[in-house]
Structure 1
Amino acid sequence: MDFNALFQFLTELNQNNSKEWMDQNRKWYKEVRDQYIKWLDEIDHLLASLDNGYYPTSGKKAINRINNNLMFHPNKPIYKDHFGAGLDKAPNSGDFYIEIGWSQSMLAGGIWRPNANTLRSIREAIDYDGEELQKILNKSSFMQTFGGLVEDGRLKTAPKGFSKAHPHIELLRNKTFAVMHPLNREDILAPDFKEKLVKVYQEMLPFRRYLNKAITV
């Protein structure tokens, strides 16, 4: 994967974020997109070889649309400034998210703003064995890699049905259960980027398995 070419495309797109420009550069976009899909297929096969519980996800299925959803976010640009994709995405589960962007890049995973039923399932799991999740979050290598849960709004009090004195009340107040490892261009362009990605994937895996078990069992 020529990530320099991907960054060059995103730079030009960021400077000319319009349908007219995209129509004129559709061939370039498809070339970069196809390269990214091929790279995702390679990562998919690599992760599947390392994790027996991995859910194969082809690059074509994993990649997100580059168009922003203007129906719900009319003030956003027409096109995103990144290529995003979700691998290891079994039905009704959180994925391993890869974002390569002009302004921001990351490796992330978990459950982002789950619906009420899913959130309830996660909270019930925490109520049952929250010490297991806390142990995962407190692991020194996990903290060094992710720094804790993504901050995305928290309840000011206990969620309905749970006591304010619950031993895991700080976890229960979360509305999003996800972690993120930021990347810079040097990380992505480095020859050991795949190895770094695998290391982050493996560090995140117990956290994702805990959440996926909570919402599927």
Structure 2
Amino acid sequence: MSFKNQIEFLKELQKNNTKEWMDANRKWYHQVRDEYIDWLNSMNRRLSVIDDEYYDTPGKKGINRINNNLMFHPNKPVYKDHFGAGFDKKPKTADFYFELGIDRCVFAGGLWRPESKVLRSIRDAIDYDGEELEKILNKKTFKSRFGNLYEDVKLTNAPKGFAKDHQHIALLKNKTFAVFQEFDTKETNKSNFDEELINAYQEMLPFRRYLNKAITV
């Protein structure tokens, strides 16, 4: 699929980031949104074939709102500068995320600052078999695509209940367990972009499964 229409819409929206402009261009917005949802539906079907545990996520359920939440972020623009969507969005698990932006796109997945109970479950899993997570994170192809865990706030000391000299202490100090790949939006013009998304999904799958097993078992 060509995302040219979506990109042009986002560019104009950022020049005129107001409800008045959006209301005047509502027809265009629904057109680009519907096109995007159709593409999400096609990718949803393809991913469900390659992943036996895939949670069916039609485009309308996967797509994120384009409105910024001004209640919690009053200084942000009214509308986002990208179209975001999740795949394999089983409630309360780590999904796979794709973001289509004006200049950059993102493949991402994991858990962003999960609540304390969930975070404790992840740490317990690391305590039990953290070498498995280390193996996933250090796999050459995984590291080449996603690098390290997303750099976010970390504990200064060992979390409560874990020794400061724990063999996986660096992992245990994390509050966010997520990875991402950022790339130029021009990459979406390539004929094999859908396959690239599938490859990213498959590469990230063991990481997401590790987290989901930790928080659901």
Q: TM-score range by the shorter chain?
A: over 0.9
- The alignment's TM-score, normalised by the length of structure 2, stands at 0.98
The sequence identity of aligned pairs, in percent, is 61
Matched pairs, number: 217
Write the distance in 1 (CA, Å) between the matches of 2:12 and 2:69: 21
Per the TM alignment, residue 158 of structure 1 is displaced from its structure 2 partner at its CA by: 0.7
Equivalences for 1:185-196 in 2 at 5 Å? 185-196=185-196
Equivalence map 1:83-98=2 (5 Å): 83-98=83-98
* 1:164-203 deviations in Å (ceiling 9; x for gaps): 1000000001110000011212211111101111111100
Whole-Å separation in 1 of the counterparts to 2:159 and 2:21: 48
Q: Retained in 2: the 8 A contact 1:81–1:103?
A: no
TM-score if structure 1 supplies the norm length? 0.98
Matched, 1:50 2:56: no
Contact 1:110 1:177 in 2 (8 A): yes
The CA deviation at 1:31 is: 0.3
Q: Is the Cα contact below 8 Å between 1:62 and 1:85 reproduced in 2?
A: yes
Q: Which amino acid aligns with 1:46?
A: R
1:2-151 residue pairs with structure 2 within 5 A? Answer: 2-151=2-151
Matches of 1:152 and 1:30 in 2, distance apart? Answer: 35
Give the letter for the 1:36 counterpart: Y
Equivalent position of 1:163 in the other structure: 163
**Counterparts of 1:60 and 1:183 in 2: how far apart (Å)?**
25
1:109 is paired with a residue of what secondary structure?
strand
* Aligned-residue offset at 1:163: 1.0
Distance 1:47 1:77 in 2: 33
Aligned alpha-carbon RMSD (Å): 0.8
Separation in 1 of the partners of 2:97 and 2:56?
A: 14
Structure 2 residue matching 1:38: 3-state secondary structure: helix
Contact 1:112 1:176 in 2 (8 A): yes
Deviations 1:139-164, CA, capped at 9 Å, x for gaps: 11110010011111111111111111
Q: 3-state SS of the aligned residue for 1:110?
A: strand
Deviations 1:55-101, CA, capped at 9 Å, x for gaps: 11000000000000000000000000000011101122111001001
Instruction: Indicate if the aligned counterparts of 2:62 and 2:87 stay in contact, CA closer than 8 A.
Output: yes
Deviation at 1:104, TM superposition (A): 3.0
Distance in 2 between residues matched to 1:154 and 1:187, nearest whole Å? 33
Deviation string 1:95-126 (CA, Å, 9 cap, x unpaired) is 10010012431010011110111111100100
The runs of 5 or more residues in structure 1 that have no matched partner are none
In 2, distance between residues paired with 1:91 and 1:68?
Answer: 22
Task: Provide, for residues 11-55 of structure 1, a one-character-per-residue CA deviation record: whole Å limited to 9, x for no partner.
Answer: 001111001110100110010000001100000000001111111
Alpha-carbon separation, structure 1, partners of 2:24 and 2:113: 36
